[in-house]
Amino acid sequence: MSNYKTAYSYNAENGEYLGEAKAWESPLEPGVYHLPAGATYTTPPAHGEHEAARWNTITGAWELVPDYRGEIYWNKSTREKVEIKELGITPAPELTDIEPTDHEAEWNGTTWEIPLAVCRKRKLNEVKTAFNAYVAGSITTTQGYKMQFGESDSLKLEGSIKLMEAQGIAVAYLTDAGDDTHYDIPLATIKAVQLEMLAAYGAAHARKQQLRAQVEAAADKATLDTIVITWEAE
């Protein structure tokens, strides 16, 4: 026959059930058992998921309380990450266990969703970035020169043309996109080159405005996704 009784230990601070303990029989007083501190003879109840048994020192009984410790949630309004660290706390209604995958996503009542306005803004930024990259490139003119055709490039060449006209210069040099210099180019040819540069930039700018209009007119994200950013006019 065992010389102890089974007892059940609990945490002195929060009452959480810790496990079985032994209340040993006194060697001097047969039939008398010494109950360890922070223990009871009352059997704790079985608990389910996200539950824990806690000893209530006021009622002198076990109670089942929520146990979400270690669980991660996110605030539906602020997207702030929240970890539950204490026993007895149930996740508040303003929290969700679904992690937002985008820093601008908003809670739509069921899940996280990127607002249409945010998607539209991002698409417009894509158009702007693509336009800047495109006009930073070059075109090959009908005269066979590969030229950068950004707005500043055309303006620089326009300034050179005006200076040539003012000084009565009939031929000059032309530096292409590869930084190669071509000499003895007639003024008329340089003017033609500059006009093609202006035309290419103007067409790119018009296409940019066309794309921007499509983005602004999109009524939903599915329509936004169908807009392909290319520089071929539609």
User: In this structure, what are the phi and psi dihedrals at residue 207, rounded to the nearest 5 degrees?
Assistant: -65, -40
Rg (CA), the chain: 39
Q: How far apart are CA 34 and CA 25, in angstroms?
A: 6
Q: How far apart are CA 39 and CA 19, in angstroms?
A: 9
Please check the confidence at residue 85 and state whether its pLDDT lies above 70.
yes
Q: Report the pLDDT value the prediction gives residue 27, as an integer from 0 to 100.
A: 87
Lowest mean pLDDT among 2-6, 117-121, 173-177: 2-6
Q: Report the pLDDT value the prediction gives residue 35, as an integer from 0 to 100.
A: 94
Percent of the chain with pLDDT over 90: 94
Write the pLDDT tens digit of every residue in 99-137: 999 999 999 999 999 999 999 999 999 999 999 999 999
Q: List C-alpha distances in Å: 189 to 28, 87, 140, 170, 183.
A: 119, 83, 14, 10, 12
Please check the confidence at residue 174 and state whether its pLDDT lies above 70.
yes
Q: How far apart are CA 95 and CA 193, in angstroms?
A: 63
Please check the confidence at residue 233 and state whether its pLDDT lies above 80.
no
Q: Which residue carries 């204490």 as its tokens? A: 86
Q: Report the pLDDT value the prediction gives residue 232, as an integer from 0 to 100.
A: 76
Task: Fill in the amino acid letter for 142.
Answer: T
| Number of neighbours of residue 135 by Cβ within 10 angstroms | 21
